[in-house]
A and B are shown apart, each in its own frame.
Chain A
């Protein structure tokens, strides 16, 4: 009897359309947030904070961007890593070239720059859709990384083409320890997720989904397909860009353009899909799944065969397992982990007495 649906009446339209309809779920979210902000920074090891949690949060944000475009607006995209690269290198150059540029401003501006690039590469979406669009976004992926790699200006003419990110500093406070960096990433991710959730549930999200489900009908309602699709591309790329910058600044720290290869794009897409498209929690679940899988495999293998298992074997096996997981999800639960979570909650609501 953890869940009680009975007795929770919604007496206004505002109450009926809130993000989390059940009191128990709201309490759970509040507890998770409290733990995330006030417990984890003081209890988690540095390894967990900077190698697991920070990339998880950053990539969840990128997957949220992917989800906006793919899940809500229904536009295929295989270029998210390209937009991450735009965000990361835009942030680097803003910090480098403008004196006294505050980190937060640089971060937001790099998201905006990524959004502008996203709009350019979203233009083909006006003529084509589905698989055709996916190929067009591949162009973004390859072209962007190539440009950043080939033109020395972006990497400040570093001979090895690798940049070292500047310190993250907000209002004169330097975030240097793993716990501090985790907190800054957590804060930004929480805020942006809240905004994304508002958009998805409001007019903006309805317009995206209308274009996704039936574009002719959306047009007939007076919606501009051009503006709606490009808006989705822009906002999605904004999230990818900010996520990419956080990924670079709080996790990678020394960054080469080729770190944002197509393989990363695929992983982000898997996060969005396995997590559950068109849900707010999905990208977070998906990112956790994709990131923790290798960790889990590693520990399992070390447990089974002792310490020495070839890293290449692990990565090949990881590929097979990702592939199989994707296929299984597509066959049995195309709505992803978020749907599984919902099913579990529904069961819990009835447990132990089905009525």
Chain B
């Protein structure tokens, strides 16, 4: 796996840059339950950043804070140095943050193509009147969206199901379509919540390849939550480790792997 990392570093088209997203002392509570406590870390441009931790560690909550689904009670989020007050999912999307969900959140009754084209809603401007009267603007945008969507479909190798309703697709393909929909928005920052959960080895390998390719081809910064340690160590540049809503490790995979606290959290010790 070190070989992979080495090759990656050597051939990288987009060199890792400075921090684009900084999380500063984030705390999040639901009623009396503390989901996240005083968490700070940053995400650098073009890197693949993993968030790991045992079940209930607060990983998904962390992603939900980043894209504004949850508002933390304390702490602040800075995107490209700009301090963000109340973040909303919409604002996050406008700033170029896309995401996938732990439990697939596709538009079930729409086709693969429509799902991916729907992902481009912020890239299109046509009003309902444009669309209704098929104005040149609407037709041009529709064609552009279609071309972009086809590009993604080709990249994800799902050409043969492009007109299929997503509800009818197997789980692994649905995960892929969801990635496609997130990519359609041409994100700067891509949040992947367990993109490989429930997949077999082969499917995982495919997904790893897609993630690395996205990072490689478009320079997209990626934050991913993953349980499979092998995968995490393989593809990520830096890792944040959460346990019971607290940060217990942060750094390159090799370093994190040697961290005693992390080992305890994963193997379990008497607290």
Contact = CB atoms under 8 A, between A and B. Distances in A.
A and B touch in the complex (CB under 8 A): yes
B93 A221 contact: yes
A-B interface, 10 closest residue pairs, ranked by CB to CB distance from nearest: A222-B93, A213-B107, A202-B131, A217-B105, A195-B132, A222-B122, A13-B146, A206-B118, A219-B89, A204-B128
A220 B128 contact: no
A269 B96 CA distance: 40
Contacts of B117: 206
Contacts of B92: 220
B67 interface: yes
Nearest to B90: A222
A13 B147 contact: yes
20 contacts: A198-B132, A199-B128, A203-B126, A203-B131, A203-B138, A206-B110, A206-B118, A206-B121, A209-B107, A210-B110, A214-B105, A214-B106, A216-B105, A218-B107, A222-B121, A222-B185, A223-B90, A224-B90, A231-B128, A278-B109
Contacts of A13: 143, 146-147, 150
Contact of A213 (B109, B142, B146): B109
A196 B129 CA distance: 10
A251 to B, nearest CB: 26
Interface string B160-198: 000000000000000000000100010000000000000
Contact of B108 (A17, A202, A204, A213): A213
Interface string A229-258: 001000100000000000000000000000
Interface string B121-142: 1101010100111100011011
A198 B143 CA distance: 14
Nearest to B162: A16
Interface in B40-99: 67, 69, 89-90, 92-94, 98-99
A228 to B, nearest CB: 9
Nearest to B68: A220
A198 B122 CA distance: 20
A235 B128 CA distance: 9
Given A206-B114, A210-B118, A213-B108, A219 B142 contact: no
A87 B244 CA distance: 58
B219 interface: no
A207 interface: yes
A14 interface: yes
B230 to A, nearest CB: 29
A222 B143 CA distance: 21
A222 B124 CA distance: 11
Contacts of B99: 220
B101 interface: yes
Contacts of B134: 198, 202
Contacts of A216: 69, 89, 101, 105
B245 interface: no
Most-contacted residue by chain B among A206, A213, A216, A222 (CB, 10 A): A222
Most-contacted residue by chain A among B109, B110, B128 (CB, 10 A): B128
A13 B121 CA distance: 19
A127 B215 CA distance: 38
B132 A217 contact: no
B121 A203 contact: yes
B119 interface: yes
Contacts of A17: 142, 146
A113 B134 CA distance: 24
Nearest to B138: A202
B19 to A, nearest CB: 23
A214 B142 contact: no
Given A207-B118, A214-B106, A231-B128, A222 B94 contact: yes
A221 B122 contact: yes
A38 to B, nearest CB: 26
A126 B99 CA distance: 23
Contacts of B142: 17, 202-203
A89 to B, nearest CB: 26
Nearest to B126: A203
Contacts of B93: 220-222
Most-contacted residue by chain B among A205, A212, A214, A223 (CB, 10 A): A214
Contacts of A199: 128, 131-132
Contacts of B147: 13
B92 to A, nearest CB: 7
Contacts of B90: 219, 222-224
A217 to B, nearest CB: 4
Contact of B67 (A202, A220, A235): A220
Contact of B143 (A14, A214, A218): A14
A13 B98 CA distance: 26
Contacts of A196: 132
Given A202-B138, A203-B131, A214 B108 contact: yes
B132 A209 contact: no
Contacts of A204: 128, 131-132
